[in-house]
Every structure is written in structure tokens, then in C-alpha cells.
Amino acid sequence: MNASSAEKGLFISFEGVEGAGKTTNIEYIADKIAQGGHEIVLTREPGGTKLSEAIRELLISKEYPEMHIKTELLLMFAARSEHLNTVILPAINAGKWVLCDRFTDATYAYQGAGRGIPEDIIATLETLVQGSVKPDYTFLFDLDAEIGLGRAKNRGETDRFEQQHIDFFNKIRDKYLELAKSDEPRYRIVNAQYDLDTVQKQIDQLLTDILDL
Ligand code: Z5A
């Protein structure tokens, strides 16, 4: 059972390597959906509540470069538990469309493929925190990791994750593509290597195809 089959709202997540354009394009997508007459909640992970944003600060801060990978994993799910129960599910239950910048696929990509935590451990925490709730759709902004990091670094200061070697981000991109292949009905891939206009033309087409917008 996904979130929307029981309720009226819709849950859409956005994934990709750093700098792939999620944040830029979520705003664009939110405008389009709002024009379609739907009420929207725009949120992000880790984050989305006061407590989860405080956890996010711990996670991305360069003050903790040696954070243990299991601590990182548990903090991701602690932030998610709070966010899911106090923001995402109430919004979906109220018929709103939730647009979330990253969700649990990021955990499989970063903590799983990137850090090397076995998938069954992530799956156990996913079940504990989410039960059977998953996004209805996931837009994957697929981009060469080096180009994405370059775009992210052009924006200014980097965070704890962005300090990682390029091999880490290549594994993450590969994992996202694997996840997309294994769950085709949920995933939609946007080729993010092009200029913004071209990327947004792909988005327009996807919104028409799957959401009738
Ligand atoms: N993380 C994790 O490890 N496990 C988890 O379970 C979760 C997260 C949920 C914070 O996430 C960190 O948490 C993240 C993974 C980890 N690692 N890091 N760092 P985040 O999503 O908040 O951070 P992010 O991935 O770094 O987001 P980002 O760098 O802001 O990327 P983005 O949102 O995809 O990109 P953007 O900000 O829209 O665009 C980046 C720049 O490129 C910007 O200057 C744009 O103007 C420019 N841009 C955008 N599109 C284009 C095109 N088409 N052409 C040229 N330039 C463009």
C-alpha cells in the first residue's frame, strides 16, 4: 500500500546526486501543480520539521567529519520519523500533495551504496519508521556526478557530504539508476545534463504523462 492509495493526497520525492537540480526544479514543479489546483507541501530530508532540521545541521556539519556511519544512518531515520509523522502523513491525509527533496532512496544510495551499510539493515529501519509508506512517484535527476559536484561547488561553501571523493558520488549515481530500474512504475528519470530550459521541457512532459497536468 502506498500513501495515496489509502488517502487523497500524493507523495512525490526528488532524488539525484549533489547539484543535479532537485531544489531548482521542485519550485518549478510546485508552481505547475499549484496551477492545477492542488494544495502543496514543499519539504525536504533530512529536515522538514524544527527537530529534523536540527538533526540535519548535525548531519551536514563539518564539525563531525568522523561521524560513525551507523550514527549517520540512525540520525537520517530519526529525522525521517519525525518528519513523516508530523508533516508528511498529516498532509497526505488532508488531501495535499507532498513534494519532498530526497527521501529513503537517498539512504539506500548514500548510506547503502556510498557508506557500505548492508541493504537489509536499511530495509529494517525503513519498515520500522515507515511501515509500507513509500512515495507514489520519484523523480530522479540523473547527472554525471562530477558535473553535479561542480555545479554544487559553484554555489559556494560545501557541506560534510560534499567533502567525499568522487568515487563515493559515482556509487550513488549508479545506485539511483539501479533503484529506478527495479521500481519503474514509481521512478521517472530526468536527464539533468542539459540546460535548464531543456530539463524543464522533460519535466513538463512527465507532469502531463503521469499527473495529467
Ligand atoms: N542524505 C543522505 O546521505 N541520506 C539521506 O537519507 C538523505 C540525505 C535524505 C543533504 O541533502 C545531504 O544529505 C545530501 C545527501 C544526504 N548530501 N549532500 N551534500 P540535500 O538534498 O539538501 O543536498 P544536496 O543534494 O547537496 O542538494 P543540492 O546540492 O542543493 O543539489 P540540488 O538541489 O540537486 O541542486 P540545485 O541546488 O537545484 O542546483 C545546484 C546548482 O546548479 C545551482 O546553482 C543551480 O542554479 C544550478 N543548476 C540547476 N540546474 C541546472 C542546469 N540544468 N544547468 C546548469 N546549472 C544548473
| Pocket lining for ligand 1, CB < 6 angstroms | 16, 18-24, 44-46, 60, 76, 101-102, 106-107, 110-111, 151-152, 155, 159, 161-162, 192, 195-196, 199
Best of 17, 24, 163 to mutate for ligand 1, by most ligand atoms within 8 A of CB? 24
> Distance between CA 108 and CA 63 in Å, rounded?
24
Rounded distance from Cα 6 to ligand 1 centre (Å): 31
Give me the torsion for CA of 42, 47, 51, 54, rounded to 10°: -130
Question: What's the predicted TM-score (pTM) here?
Answer: 0.95
pLDDT in tens, 61-109: 999 999 999 999 999 999 999 999 999 999 999 999 999 999 999 999 9
At 9-23, the pLDDT tens digits run 999 999 999 999 999
Which residue from 104, 160, 102, 95 is spatially nearest to 128, judged by alpha carbons?
104
Burial of residue 187 (CB within 10 Å: 0-12, 13-18, 19+) is: buried
Q: Which domains does the chain have, with CATH numbers?
A: 14-208 (3.40.50.300)
Beta strands in the chain (DSSP E): 10-16, 40-44, 97-101, 137-142, 187-191
